[in-house]
Amino acid sequence: MEAQKVDMFIMSNAKYFESYQINGIRERLIALDDSKWAMISSVQLKDPTVSLIVSILAGSLGIDRFLIGDTGLGIGKLLTCGGLGIWAIIDWFLIMGATREKNMQKIQQLLY
Amino acid sequence: MSRNKLYALLSTACAAGYIWIIITFYQTNALGNDPTVCLIKSITGVPCPSCGSTRSVLSIFSGHFTEALYWNPLGLVIVLILLIAPFWIAFDLVTRNDSLLRFYNQAELILKKRWVAIPAIILILVNWIWNIMKGL
């Protein structure tokens, strides 16, 4: 794919991924065929900031975990009042990284 | 999620659950009131959907099933997980299998289906309203 197109994608989507993953994504995208561009540019990524807000407001109910697709963990949090309140607080710090990991998994299915 | 991560998480959760039950069992006997750790209840004073499940689990372990259903029906689910998960994990570790991981992934897929998720959400909401009316 053209480097210009790829850089545009990286610039507008950098916040959805961990910083150490961005170089790898860029290299894969450049090596990728042009026909996949439509799929890559239309993939739905979750915003880490939104999941942080949800985690602070409704983390005890596990809704942050449901939001990023970790249904099992969400049920775990829901059943235990947010893991006795401890897990809910820990997740305020983990949820942004977890969201970025989920985004990476999603785009990896298209890249490889 | 990888197999080892899931198994480590589940065993930690089960261990924490058993420790919590033992602590509350002795504390309730000594003080006559229940300790609360629920963030929602501590901040707003309104119980959350799973408030009362410790009392429910304690009631089941002492044989009072109707009392357990009155405190919180979700306690039954917690008891089932607490009783089954350790044995399933041990079985998988001994036989070097990943049947629990496959079951977990399958259950996640089923729960994400709309005709399962919406009734489940409604049930949880009804339970929440009931909890508020009971004033747990």
Q: What's the pLDDT tens digit per position in B95-116?
A: 888 888 888 888 888 888 889 8
Closest residue on chain B to A58 (Cα): B40
Helices (H), B1-136: 3-31, 39-44, 53-61, 65-71, 74-95, 99-111, 114-134
B51 touches chain A (CB under 8 A): yes
The contacts of residue A25 (CB under 8 Å, 6+ apart) are: A10, A17, A107, A111
Q: In chain A, where are the structural domains located?
A: 3-111
The low-confidence residues of chain A, meaning pLDDT below 50, are: none
Contacts with B48 from chain A: Cβ below 8 Å = 60-61, 81
Tell me the pLDDT band of B43, cut-offs 50, 70 and 90: confident
Q: Which residue has the tokens 């629920």?
A: B38
Token representation of residue A45: 């990524």
Tell me the pLDDT band of B59, cut-offs 50, 70 and 90: confident
Contact of B78 with A79, CB cutoff 8 Å = yes
Closest residue on chain A to B81 (Cα): A76
- Global pTM reads 0.79
The contacts of residue B57 (CB under 8 Å, 6+ apart) are: B21, B68, B75, B78, B79, B82
A81 touches chain B (CB under 8 A): yes
A90 touches chain B (CB under 8 A): no
Say whether pLDDT at B32 is over 60.
no
Which helix (H) or strand (E) segment holds residue A103: the answer is helix A86-111
Nearest Cα to Cα of residue B60 among B80, B36, B32: B80
Q: Which residue, among B41, B108, B123, B131, would best test binding to A if mutated, counting the most A CBs under 10 Å from its CB?
A: B108
CA distances from B80 to A79, A86, A101, B76, B99 (A): 12, 22, 31, 6, 17
d(CA A91, CA B44): 20
Summarised one tens digit per residue, pLDDT across range B71-83 is 888 888 888 888 8
Summarised one tens digit per residue, pLDDT across range A39-56 is 888 888 888 999 999 998
Q: How confident is the model at residue A2, as a pLDDT?
A: 79
Contact of B98 with B3, CB cutoff 8 Å = yes
Summarised one tens digit per residue, pLDDT across range B3-19 is 888 888 888 888 988 88
The complex scores an ipTM of 0.78
Sort B64 into a burial class: Cβ within 10 Å, 0-12 / 13-18 / 19+.
Answer: middle
Q: How confident is the model at residue A53, as a pLDDT?
A: 92
Contacts with A61 from chain B: Cβ below 8 Å = 40, 48-49
**Contact across the interface for A76 and B13, Cβ inside 8 Å:** yes
Which of A71, A76, A85 faces B38 most closely, judged by CB atoms? A85
Sort B109 into a burial class: Cβ within 10 Å, 0-12 / 13-18 / 19+.
Answer: exposed
Give the SS3 label for residue B2: coil
